[in-house]
Amino acid sequence: MNIDYEGKTAAVTGAASGMGREVARLVRELGGTVYALDLNQSKDPVDGFIEVNLADKASIDSAVKALPDRIDSVFACAGVAGKNMTPLSVATINFVGHRHLVESLVPRMGEGSSIALIASMGGMGWIANIPAVMGLLQTDGFDAAIHYLEQHVDDAAVLGGSTPGNNRGYTFSKEATILYAKYRSWTLAQRRIRINTISPGSTTTPMLSQFGSDPQVGARSVSPIGNSSSPRDQAKALAYLNSDTASYISGADLCVDYGFSGGIYTGQGQLSETGN
């Protein structure tokens, strides 16, 4: 069975670089219509480019208005690692902005539509942190989510302090992304809309350098295959999850790491500070 996007319209955030860029390329290769959303102009041919700042509710609302009336697939691929940024800013871009975009587009999505978000191996701790994450997920809208984060800036289970570069903003945003897909999959199933996440292992994107440059740390972030994945590897997984081939998969977090998470869970590997 071949993956096919003929006749499908996709919105891709982060389409100017990294995994988002490869997703936009791949979906067009598979026959889809692609609208690229990013702060930067897409470097590749797309069917429409829309500038968006995921930290700004008004910018997201403007982007939503510029998109077509029907959207078949959403690929939430934009993100920041958090170097020199506050944890609140990181969580806003990585999760709050994406949730607002997704929820704004759901009314335009019909039966068989799909949503795929990029989480991270850095979000592996979600299952032990459900109460704090659910506090965020149960907020109603962009502003309420920001208020929740502001009220929990110093909570170790949420943002863990306001110091720029504090990695907790990144990991919490990815915990929230994974649990959001699981939480929302139940209600979206009533509309026959699927939602899933991928958790990439170490991937050679521009973001990777923001996690640290120590090659020994990086080496501990891959399985015995010995090398990081490419953005194309991750794009293939995203394209699969949003395709009709994965028609009965929803609420799943797909680890795209060539066994790295298996090694962590079974005590054979070591989780470093590096991730995607």
> In 3D, which of 253, 265, 175 has the Cα closest to residue 223?
265
Q: Domain count of the chain?
A: 1
90: in domain: yes
Alpha helices in the chain (DSSP H): 18-29, 57-66, 87-91, 97-105, 130-137, 142-151, 168-188, 215-219, 231-241, 260-265
268: in domain: no
Instruction: Provide the CATH number for the domain around residue 19.
Output: 3.40.50.720
Q: Give the whole-angstrom CA distance, residue 118 versus residue 196.
A: 9
220: in domain: no
Q: Give the whole-angstrom CA distance, residue 34 versus residue 13.
A: 10
Residues whose CB is less than 8 angstroms from the CB of residue 235 and which lie 6 or more positions away in sequence, other chains included: 19, 22, 23, 25, 26
**Cβ atoms of 193 and 106 closer than 8 Å:** yes
104: in domain: yes
Q: Give the whole-angstrom CA distance, residue 172 versus residue 15.
A: 23
4: in domain: no
How confident is the model at residue 219, as a pLDDT? 43
DSSP 228: P
How confident is the model at residue 2, as a pLDDT? 80
Q: How far is CA 254 from CA 59, 117, 200, 209, in A?
A: 30, 10, 8, 24
Range of the structural domain that residue 156 is part of: 9-209+226-257
44: in domain: yes
56: in domain: yes
177: in domain: yes
Burial class (CB in 10 A: 0-12, 13-18, 19+), 53: middle
Q: Give the whole-angstrom CA distance, residue 45 versus residue 145.
A: 35
How confident is the model at residue 81, as a pLDDT? 87
Q: Give the whole-angstrom CA distance, residue 89 versus residue 259.
A: 31
pLDDT in tens, the chain (276 residues): 789 999 999 999 999 999 999 999 999 999 999 999 999 998 899 999 999 999 999 999 999 999 999 999 999 999 998 778 999 999 999 999 999 999 999 999 999 999 999 999 999 999 999 999 999 999 999 999 999 999 999 999 999 999 998 899 999 999 999 999 999 999 999 999 999 999 999 888 766 555 544 333 344 578 888 889 999 999 999 999 999 999 999 999 999 999 999 999 999 987 654 445
Quickly count helices (H) and strands (E) in the chain: 10, 7
Query: Which tokens sit at 105?
Result: 């587009």
Residues whose CB is less than 8 angstroms from the CB of residue 48 and which lie 6 or more positions away in sequence, other chains included: 34, 35, 36, 66
How confident is the model at residue 46, as a pLDDT? 97
